[in-house]
Structure 1
Amino acid sequence: MGRLTAITAALALLLGVLLVQWLPRLPPHAWLPCLVPVIVLLAWRWPRCHWLACLLFGAAWAAWHGAAAMDARLPRALEGVDLAVVGSIADLPLIHPDASRFSLRVEQATADGKPVALHGRVTVSWYEDAPPLQPCSRWHLLLRLKRPRGLLDPGAADSERSALERGIVATGYVRDDPDNRSLGERRWCVNAIRDAVARGIAARVGDHHDAALLQAFAVGDTRGLQPQDWAVARANGVSHLIAISGFHVGVAAVFGVWLAWLSYALWPGLGLRLPRPQAQAAAALLVATMYSALAGFGLPTVRTLLMIAVVTLARCSRRGSGGAQSLALAMIAILLFDPLAVLAAGFWLSFVGVGFLMLCLQSRGRGLRAFLHELTAGQLVMTVALLPLTMWFFGQASLVGALSNLIAVPLVSFVIVPCALGGMLMLGLCPPLAGPVLWLAARMAHAQWWLLEQMATWPGAHWYLPTVQPWALLLAVLGALWLFMPRGMPLRWLGLLLFLPLLRPPLSTPPEGAFQAWVLDVGQGLSVLLRTHDHVLVYDAGARYPSGFDLGEAVVLPALHALGVGRLDLLMISHGDNDHAGGARVVAEAFPEAPRYAGEPARMHLPMRQCVAGQAWTWDGVRFRVLNPPAGAADRDNDSSCVLLVENRSGRLLLSGDISSAVEPPVAASLGAGPPVVLLVPHHGSKTSSGAGFIAAVQPSVAIVSAGWRNRFGHPKPEVLARYAAAGVPVFNTAVQGAIALDFPVDAPPRREAGWRQRQPRYWRE
């Protein structure tokens, strides 16, 4: 396969795989065999159509893999059913105050003593006094599972896509059962070795945080890192180093080359048995493979490992292999092995980053000066070239990332990681030396992290943009390519102009007198974003859990950034329950200047003012009125909820918190006559709310429920839905629709836009 042919085949294969990922539904299985003769005919009879054959093969291969992955998911009939499962722990278990979480590779499963078709990996939580869990250990457990289903909101991560890419077929929790028991451990398990190395580091490094950093850098064990550590990493653009990057694998390969060179220097006679170049290539591949296994075979490491394998194969067969050809062959290998890898951000960051470095950096010879030039120029190229993709996948980027990586990459890859692994190796060879080596690695990691924490506070460390459109992404990538063309290319600076649609996207804000609302999908909880022409209000912020997962950080803030909100004018928390107030602190810290009101300020963990019935204000021609609680009634739990009415000339939105039927009559009476009402169903559809009299008095045109999918409370209750149905009121649920957008124009009735799950349909979404 020639150089041009390999690159063309890789791009055509990639395009075919990508076309499938945009489909709302996969084609029927019967269609896929029909493509086989077409592909064979194109490849055999028309050489100029080889690229088309590759494209069709990529599409068929991706469709088959996607269908197989979806078919492997838990059958819907088994959702909520107790299953007796035998399996082994397939990762490093996470131990949180509320639960232990791990991935279980299922070996067999039964329901009521009968075998069921369930194979693959399931993510499991074990609540309430979980026993010690070790990687690779086998267990017999009683599980309650459901199909992978995540929250769908603007700007937030798509966990269903991630589950498909990672091969997760179900999620659930361990049921309390006396038959839950350990079945021993598997031998020769890589994760057990990783865990042993991580525990060895923790036992010999006194500072817990320094030990956590070494564990992450050395073996990709991120269990000891806190949310603030990830925030520092994102602000500096060094998250790839924490999870072990492909660059680390390259350094390991270089170490293998040096090891082979040293062996030939000590025993020259080896050259009579095997030429040194071939031995160095084989040693590089062997050491890189061992380190990739120690790192858990993440996508960046696999990509680099495949490139090293291509170079090794070419060297051993005495054939030349250019960088672009090696990259193309590595892409082909990954797409053939797992076409669903294109769903991961790491796939694109890896290949696009390396591709830009190959295209844009010209060799300047050897020596320290050339190395420093390539290192500094490479960080600039990577920062600018990967900016569009970073914004596309994560909604944020770091303008200090080039400088941060310039410091962190050589320090981590050439000093900290070798010292950490060398220290662990010394435990077996010379134990007295292990302590000093690990101490040196810990001090270096500590100093580096202190510097990164300082840089995380610099302007531009956290840079957010509204949702990136595909056409703006493509233009920015082309702009980066043009900008870093070799010297002699005229007007290279014009590449900056192609970044403008990405950096200055058009924003859609309501006109004067109109407003918009987003009822976010925060599971069993509530959060609503309200936007007028020049003002933004957040009503409730979802939950925060003991594990540290905060819906204010995971959903509310990304939604604000995706909608282009740079300033918050008011934060209102209906009452103190966690599912409404848990994420408030994160939102308040992100917008410290915003006034804050709550129905139960005493239950909040940050200063807030009391909201009281009668408070009113007007923003941009839109009127806001607080209808509950009355003065002196801030200690009634759910009935102390701030009830907010937002109205313009054509429509009204009633945000009711968790009020019960006890206070629904005075709330309804305070509404008065006016335009149609869109109602946020009280208390997620609890049976203690939404009385028939309340529904009749409000006469909502549409009712919105914010609830979790298959939540343990059974919200919304069937009898509540029946009352709305009897009144002829359509009900929409965020658990089914995803985030729901509502538009209140100036001169037209309110309208509900398609839910986020329907607005962006993909075949992997439930």
Structure 2
Amino acid sequence: MNTAGERAEKRTAWPWLAAFSVSTLTLPLQSALPPEWSLFFLSLAAFCLLASRGARPVGLVVLAWLIVVSVYREALEDRLPAGLAGEILEVQGTVSSLPERFGDRLRFRFRPDANVGDISLPRNLLINWYRDWPEVRYGERWRLVLGLKPPWGLVNFNGPDRERWLFGNRLGAVAGVRSGERLSSPESTFGSAQRARQSIRDAIVHQLPETRGRATVLALAIADRSGIDRPYQNLLRETGTAHLMAISGLHVGLATVAGLFLGRYVLGWLPAAGHGLQVYRAGLATGALAAAAYALLAGLGVSTVRAVLMSLAGLLALSSMRAPHPLMAFVLALALVLLLNPLAPLGAGFWYSFLAVLALLAVFFPRPRLSEWWKIALLAQAAIFVVVAPVNASWMGGISPTAFPANLFAIPWVSALVVPPVLTGIVLLPVSGTLAGLSWWLAAGSMEFLLRMLDYLAAWLPGMWATRAPLASVAVGAVLGGLLLLLPKGLPGRWLGLFLLAPLFLPPSSAVPPGGMRVEALDAGQGSAIVLASANHTMLYDTGGGDGEGSDSVGSVIMPALMSLGNGGLDRVVISHGDLDHAGGLFTLRARFSRLSVLGSTGTGTAGVDPCREGMSWSHDGHRFHTLHPSAGLPYLRNNSSCVLAVDGPGVRILLPGDISGGVEHRLLLNGVKPFDVLFAPHHGSASSSTARFLSRVNPRVAIATAGLGNRFGFPRPEVRGRYTAQGVDLWATGECGAIRLDLQANGAITASSARKQTPRIWRWPAAPNCP
């Protein structure tokens, strides 16, 4: 029996768990880890505090936080050095994840056996195998010839952060396969949870045709979301239902309840199982086992682990006949997840998962007598919609008004008609593949019907509301404001939550003054995408890389930049030339903007693209846009037929030359090209462009090369950098600096900033020294 002192000690543990959680959650906001000397003194202080009974909780918090910092430091050290970018090595190792197919590539994790010579390899590599890949299975051993790159990613002012994703998943390098040889197959089919996942995946793929329903079954059975294509992703995003594809509290709760009742039913028929309380507790144990098994099949994602921990807390409470405070269970689950996986907060799933539970606690714990099902459904959806809005704004760049009505019927539909047959199929698979297939067919059919309903809803209701990517302080304030509003009526200051929420819902503003312009060279990898926004108009020069059929960076790079300017509108696109590193996103943009005006030099006369010819011009907000090349009589010469665009503003002149070479530069010189304040380096800074005479005539104050970090061409070339330096101007590259933003004023002033330098984080690869 617990004494009063023991109970008091347990109560005082919760604030310390909360303190540990808060201190850990602030680490992703830091630009660097604390220096090692400070960690040494903190370690000494922690052991001193542990020696004192009264200060022991503080010592435990400090020690746990030091463990978290050590995990961050270990992840930083386990990355391929930048100096080894482009190395081609033969590496032997093991496939350590389920291979996932994404369009024209196969992706999987790979664990090398050992270092190659004196080159130290990270423990986990992310492998991309492009086109004509063989069958690859979890657990197989391969000898691969790999082109290695550090875990670099695109860094823009808005949109997803791939470097954060790679760091959070402990991926120390990214590699492309040049050739491969299978050395051995997995030893057994069900030798591990991952092999069980592989077998379940094979069975689902064999039993079901390739539809959105099958993609859903794979996502809910084994957390394999590679079958969810881009249109399906867009639908889930616009309707706010993407969370249904992540195995979390809803799904784990159903597995727990199913395991509990199945265990009690089976054990009730066994004479040796006992009766009453013994059967009751044994049923709780089978529920816990079912939850744990499902979590293993789901790959132990953050939301899954959180759901399992909270389910276990509830089962333990039922077993002991004591009900812990729900908030205590929440804090305990939060602290355990952070201790087990300190990098979990780097993913959106962590925030969606815990904030959704916190919202439900805020709305239902103070209202224990609420019994009407329709009130419960409305309050639950309203609570989650409001509290997770800051996460949507931060990770998705907007808030979906369709999410509230969509989830009102989508959540119960998936809970009753999709998840149960998915789980039933998993249970039936060892007994009968046919029965398992029938169960999955029912789940897929139910999901197809739901998706048709979501299609209609997305067509009738407005799409995403563009929002500012909020500062951390704004996001935290919005969460607190949402929680305040959810508390019962009569609480003093409850409506102050509206003021805390308001900054989140204010529409973004371009803040481009009359006569000014914002020019943003996006980090689109080894491709070009440049936004030019004036007070009332937005234009895009080139559309980034892609395959020209929908697989591109429009959704992850271009649209977040457009949405940050206001309503995400776009008036005109100019395509320099038809190469896919410049025109790869045009297909997607034309699908998104049905009345888009497109001008370009594409050679074959692409439908809907007006040919670019020398002498064309138009004006927006006091800026004159005019083309300098190609002339009407020239044949299409790919790079040298680039649509060269000049922009004359009240105070600043800009030249966008595409991929022209020195020959076309000479032609522009003969035509009397004038000086420009801003020059985009021709052909990404290749050695055949940016001739000394051309630079001398253009005489730019600012020069930018759109070139991917560590690109295989070495752009911008060292000799080209030397030419710009000789001209007295720094050449900034989008890969090295991230997106580069220029705010141009009517008086000629230019303010430059870069995404890598403006948003330093622990995981961020540093910007080049000369970046603005």
User: Under a length normalisation based on structure 2, what TM-score does the superposition of the two structures give?
Assistant: 0.92
Alpha-carbon offset, residue 92 of structure 1: 1.9
1:563 and 1:52 mapped to 2: Cα distance?
Answer: 46
Q: Secondary structure at the match of 1:510?
A: coil
The answer for the alignment partner of 2:98 in structure 1 is 92
1:671 and 1:327 mapped to 2: Cα distance?
Answer: 70
The answer for the alignment partner of 1:5 in structure 2 is 12
Alignment of 1:44-59 (within 5 A): 47=54, 56-57=62-63, 59=65
| 8 Å contact from structure 2 (residues 548, 580) kept in 1 | no
Alpha-carbon offset, residue 318 of structure 1: 5.6
Opposite residue 467 of structure 1, the aligned amino acid is A
Deviates more, 1:421-430 or 1:459-468: 421-430
1:432 and 1:570 mapped to 2: Cα distance?
Answer: 54
1:434 and 1:366 mapped to 2: Cα distance?
Answer: 41
Q: Secondary structure at the match of 2:233?
A: helix
Alpha-carbon offset, residue 33 of structure 1: 2.4
1:504 and 1:736 mapped to 2: Cα distance?
Answer: 33
1:707 and 1:431 mapped to 2: Cα distance?
Answer: 51
TM-aligned CA distance change 1:201 to 1:601, over 3 Å: same
Aligned mate of 2:173, from 170, 174, 189:
170
| 8 Å contact from structure 1 (residues 14, 58) kept in 2 | no
Structure 1: unaligned runs, 5 residues or longer = none
2:265 and 2:21 mapped to 1: Cα distance?
Answer: 41
| 8 Å contact from structure 1 (residues 249, 292) kept in 2 | yes
Deviates more, 1:461-470 or 1:390-399: 461-470
Aligned mate of 1:481, from 473, 480, 483:
483
Alignment of 1:275-286 (within 5 A): 275-286=278-289
Alpha-carbon offset, residue 268 of structure 1: 6.5
Aligned mate of 2:79, from 73, 77, 85:
73
1:256 and 1:691 mapped to 2: Cα distance?
Answer: 72
TM-aligned CA distance change 1:595 to 1:58, over 3 Å: farther
Alpha-carbon offset, residue 152 of structure 1: 0.5
Question: Identity of aligned pairs, percent?
Answer: 34
Opposite residue 282 of structure 1, the aligned amino acid is A
Aligned mate of 2:254, from 233, 251, 254:
251
Deviates more, 1:152-161 or 1:466-475: 466-475
1:518 and 1:432 mapped to 2: Cα distance?
Answer: 56
Alpha-carbon offset, residue 119 of structure 1: 4.0
Deviates more, 1:618-627 or 1:56-65: 56-65
The answer for the alignment partner of 1:223 in structure 2 is 226
1:740 and 1:99 mapped to 2: Cα distance?
Answer: 30
The answer for the alignment partner of 2:202 in structure 1 is 199
TM-aligned CA distance change 1:424 to 1:304, over 3 Å: closer
Q: Secondary structure at the match of 1:275?
A: helix
Q: Secondary structure at the match of 2:701?
A: strand
Opposite residue 197 of structure 1, the aligned amino acid is I
2:399 and 2:157 mapped to 1: Cα distance?
Answer: 17
Question: Cα deviation per residue 1:170-197 (whole Å; 9 max; x = unaligned)?
Answer: 10112336xx333221441323222322
Alignment of 1:191-340 (within 5 A): 191-206=194-209, 208-267=211-270, 270-271=273-274, 275-316=278-319, 319-340=322-343
Alignment of 1:410-489 (within 5 A): 410-429=412-431, 433-489=435-491
Matching of residue 687 in structure 1 with residue 671 in structure 2: no
Aligned mate of 1:353, from 336, 351, 356:
356
1:601 and 1:464 mapped to 2: Cα distance?
Answer: 36
| 8 Å contact from structure 1 (residues 707, 716) kept in 2 | yes
The answer for the alignment partner of 2:755 in structure 1 is 756
Opposite residue 629 of structure 2, the aligned amino acid is N
| 8 Å contact from structure 1 (residues 83, 109) kept in 2 | no
| 8 Å contact from structure 1 (residues 277, 315) kept in 2 | no
TM-aligned CA distance change 1:749 to 1:562, over 3 Å: closer
State the Cα RMSD in Å: 2.7
The answer for the alignment partner of 2:769 in structure 1 is none
| 8 Å contact from structure 1 (residues 99, 547) kept in 2 | no
TM-aligned CA distance change 1:421 to 1:754, over 3 Å: same
The answer for the alignment partner of 1:568 in structure 2 is 570
2:428 and 2:391 mapped to 1: Cα distance?
Answer: 41
Question: Cα deviation per residue 1:405-440 (whole Å; 9 max; x = unaligned)?
Answer: 222222223321221332354454356644543332
| 8 Å contact from structure 1 (residues 543, 578) kept in 2 | yes
Alignment of 1:133-144 (within 5 A): 133-144=136-147
Deviates more, 1:320-329 or 1:654-663: 320-329
Matching of residue 109 in structure 1 with residue 112 in structure 2: no
The answer for the alignment partner of 1:617 in structure 2 is 618
Aligned mate of 1:405, from 379, 404, 407:
407
| 8 Å contact from structure 1 (residues 628, 642) kept in 2 | yes
TM-aligned CA distance change 1:58 to 1:20, over 3 Å: farther
Q: Secondary structure at the match of 1:480?
A: helix
Question: Cα deviation per residue 1:691-750 (whole Å; 9 max; x = unaligned)?
Answer: 222111111222111111221222122222222222222111111100001122122443
The answer for the alignment partner of 2:3 in structure 1 is none
| 8 Å contact from structure 1 (residues 96, 546) kept in 2 | no
Q: Secondary structure at the match of 1:68?
A: helix
Matching of residue 31 in structure 1 with residue 34 in structure 2: no
1:527 and 1:292 mapped to 2: Cα distance?
Answer: 41
Opposite residue 478 of structure 2, the aligned amino acid is A
Alpha-carbon offset, residue 253 of structure 1: 0.7
| 8 Å contact from structure 2 (residues 481, 500) kept in 1 | yes
| 8 Å contact from structure 2 (residues 541, 574) kept in 1 | yes
Question: Cα deviation per residue 1:36-55 (whole Å; 9 max; x = unaligned)?
Answer: 232344566595x7786566
Aligned length in residues: 756
| 8 Å contact from structure 1 (residues 155, 559) kept in 2 | yes
User: Under a length normalisation based on structure 1, what TM-score does the superposition of the two structures give?
Assistant: 0.92
Alpha-carbon offset, residue 126 of structure 1: 2.1
The answer for the alignment partner of 2:722 in structure 1 is 722
| 8 Å contact from structure 1 (residues 601, 607) kept in 2 | no
| 8 Å contact from structure 1 (residues 84, 109) kept in 2 | no
TM-aligned CA distance change 1:533 to 1:330, over 3 Å: same
| 8 Å contact from structure 1 (residues 690, 720) kept in 2 | yes
Opposite residue 151 of structure 2, the aligned amino acid is P
Question: Cα deviation per residue 1:228-276 (whole Å; 9 max; x = unaligned)?
Answer: 0111111121212213222101111111221232134324763359624
2:386 and 2:148 mapped to 1: Cα distance?
Answer: 43
Question: Cα deviation per residue 1:65-115 (whole Å; 9 max; x = unaligned)?
Answer: 1111011112344333233322221222123563322111223231xxx25
Alignment of 1:180-199 (within 5 A): 180-187=181-188, 188-199=191-202
The answer for the alignment partner of 1:152 in structure 2 is 155
Alpha-carbon offset, residue 143 of structure 1: 2.0
